Amino acid sequence: MKTLGQYIRELRERKDLSLRDLARRVDISAPFLSDVELGRRNTSEKVLAKIAHVLGTTLEELQSLDTRPPIDELRRLTTSDPSYGLAFRMVIDKKVSSKDLMDLANRKPHHSKKKE
């Protein structure tokens, strides 16, 4: 499955638009758009709607490729269990790579056996 950034780039190239051209039409910087296409940064719904319009697609189609959890879900997690907030801060502070984080998330949980 394509990422949001990959799909934006694909649509941009189909329209024969350079990265700078699309960025200018959407009123964002070319480096920011590059980071969006590479999956390094996320954009607001307002900017995503502008990108969709210029590329001839819908906001909903682009949003369907955005795999980030909704902000409300993150808030609920950190409110219901403050240790999630601490864990997120530690990941950011220690500059854990997305690859390492994905590897950790994909590991099979190992259950410790209680000694009786």
Give yes or no: residues 36 and 76 share one domain.
no
Q: Are residues 50 and 82 in the same domain?
A: no
Same domain, 55 and 84: no
- The answer to whether position 85 is within a domain reads yes
What CATH number is given to the structural domain containing 49? 1.10.260.40
pTM above 0.75, yes or no: no
Per the model's pLDDT, the better-predicted residue between 40 and 73 turns out to be: 40
13-53 pLDDT, tens digit each = 999 999 999 999 999 999 999 999 998 898 999 999 999 99
Give the pLDDT confidence score for residue 61 in this predicted structure.
95
* Full domain range(s) for residue 91: 71-106
pLDDT tens-digit series, residues 89-110: 888 888 888 788 888 888 877 6
35 and 52 inside one domain: yes
* Same domain, residue pair 17 and 52: yes
The verdict on 38 and 59 lying in the same domain is: yes
Is the Cβ–Cβ distance between 5 and 42 less than 8 Å? no
Nearest Cα residue to 51 out of 115, 92, 5, 84? 5
Is 102 part of any domain? yes
More confident of the two residues 88 and 54: 54
- Asked if the structure places residue 26 within a domain, the reply is yes
pLDDT of 10 > 60? The answer is yes
**Average of pLDDT values for 3-21?**
97
Lowest mean pLDDT among 68-72, 90-94, 110-114: 110-114
Whether 17 maps to a domain, the answer reads yes
| Residue range 74-89: mean pLDDT, rounded | 84
Catalogue the long-range contacts made by 32-39 (C-beta closer than 8 Å, 24 or more residues apart): 36/4, 36/5, 36/8, 37/5, 37/6, 37/8, 37/9, 37/12, 38/5, 39/3, 39/4, 39/5, 39/6
State how many domains the chain has: 2
For residues 14 and 24, the answer to whether their CB atoms sit within 8 Å is no
Residue 112 in this model has a pLDDT that exceeds 60: no
